[in-house]
A and B are shown apart, each in its own frame.
Chain A
């Protein structure tokens, strides 16, 4: 399968203050697994190499050869994307990474914290379209920070907000504790402290759990070794290659997790 694509930006929709939904048409559309990601060119190379690197984003949704990426604007690169104009030609590479496991039945519980919805959404959609029963737990600090609430509605999310302005009052992990059963499998994406709590819950209940991690990376296909993490046994794992989805038991939340958040 071809892994480098010429993309054309078809729309940039601003969603709330710091989120955008980027749509890119790819004429030679690659097949992907939910949870996989692609790298998006930002610079106007070869005229400019600033910002230099492509940026990794989970594939949010795809229809009719248009790939959507839900992006939180956090720095220079993502701001530059927010300033893209329709019709811009960009290099898109991927899909990369493993994606979510195909089978998480009998009782998949998907926990998405904040921007974490971007990487689990395609997975939720897949379960939904296959008619597999699941529970989607979706948390944010306030109801105002919930992303795309209208779109999410059809997937019947259980909402949590830290301030109680909507749904469960408290952390998403608090809500998660009330929903899991002995036969649940948790799939989660969100900030590192949240993922650490999710792992603790899964371990305590002895249930399966998959975490989708985020990392800085230069290449996306396993050669730069910029995204390498150390697992609980101290072995190296590339987030881009062996991940971004890991069995929670492998994931170590050491100094690195504290530093990033």
Chain B
């Protein structure tokens, strides 16, 4: 086998998230990837490591009044308000369209009460096609529950344990960046039985329309994403690495292959690209290709050898 072929060997990109083996570390982030099916017309979903669906609740939600988005320098504030089709429609109309897709499918779940998370986990656990659950305990766009769950270590441990008891799937907890100590919250998720943590969600943010003098967004405030937040979330990953035994999935402003490398060096075992999908729907498969080339050019045999190397 020639040197190039050796590096092209898919195993070089493989990573493990709990019991899940991802063919590569690049996933699409929740809230930017629809239910996956929307991307079928752009590329083969089998090219990416996995994707996380739009946050799903038991009942469908219509979301917030507009305007719902505001561009900021290198960033995007959104206040979608967790609009989603609800679990019944997801099981009935989306899952059949995902049957033949050769990638890991992670369903993001949220509720305003613990019992909703538990019920969602119970219902989704029966589905073979779903590989994992990501608990959103951190969205700034719902007033009840949501972010509040994510701020109290004991609550995080309890809710994670309750969901853990209902599911055999890989269980990921998506953390809020707006907490006193993200390490404490990550430890709580681990104690609750999580297989991994996603660090992190968007940052509470707003814009004011100086002509009207009122908040720009219909919901007044939202969550900031995009390249603007990358250095901030990168530090949260760096701070948490080594303090927990479960893998970290880096989520925050990833747009280039260099961003992926930085997150890996900081301690992320895998990454999710979010806002980048809006500015190029083929962002995720392109990142996989660029990552493969990057490793090969740098003579790095295994992506996973990079994880946390900034500490060495």
Contact = CB atoms under 8 A, between A and B. Distances in A.
Interface of A: 3-4, 41, 43, 45-46, 49-54, 77, 91, 93, 215-219, 221-230, 234-236, 255-256, 259-260
Contacts of B218: 256, 259
B204 interface: no
A226 B62 contact: no
B73 interface: yes
A42 B78 CA distance: 20
Nearest to A254: B65
B145 to A, nearest CB: 20
B281 A226 contact: no
A210 B295 CA distance: 53
B125 interface: no
A191 to B, nearest CB: 16
22 contacts: A3-B42, A4-B280, A4-B282, A49-B227, A52-B71, A52-B72, A52-B74, A52-B227, A53-B278, A54-B279, A93-B281, A218-B69, A218-B76, A218-B78, A219-B277, A221-B38, A223-B39, A224-B78, A236-B83, A256-B65, A259-B218, A260-B67
Contacts of B73: 50, 52
B255 A46 contact: yes
B278 A4 contact: no
B275 interface: yes
Contacts of B277: 219, 223
Interface in B256-279: 256, 275, 277-279
B66 interface: yes
B72 to A, nearest CB: 8
B41 to A, nearest CB: 6
B74 A49 contact: yes
A contact patch SS: loop
Interface in B120-141: none
A51 B71 contact: yes
A237 to B, nearest CB: 11
B223 to A, nearest CB: 12
Contacts, number: 108
B63 A225 contact: yes
Given A54-B279, A223-B277, A225-B83, A236 B34 contact: no
A224 B32 contact: yes
Q: From B66, B226, B255, name the one whose CB has the most chain A CB atoms within 10 angstroms.
A: B66
B279 A236 contact: no
Contacts of B54: 223, 225
Contacts of B191: none
A255 B74 contact: no
A143 to B, nearest CB: 28
A248 B212 CA distance: 28
Contacts of A52: 71-76, 226-227, 275, 279
Interface in B9-51: 32-34, 38-39, 41-42
Nearest to B73: A50
A155 B69 CA distance: 37
A4 B42 CA distance: 8
A4 B281 contact: yes
Given A219-B277, A223-B54, A256-B218, 16 more contacts: A41-B279, A49-B74, A49-B226, A51-B71, A52-B227, A52-B275, A54-B278, A54-B279, A218-B275, A223-B32, A223-B33, A223-B39, A224-B78, A234-B62, A256-B67, A260-B67
A240 to B, nearest CB: 11
B68 interface: yes
A231 to B, nearest CB: 11
A225 B80 contact: yes
A140 B69 CA distance: 29
Contact of B281 (A53, A221, A229): A221
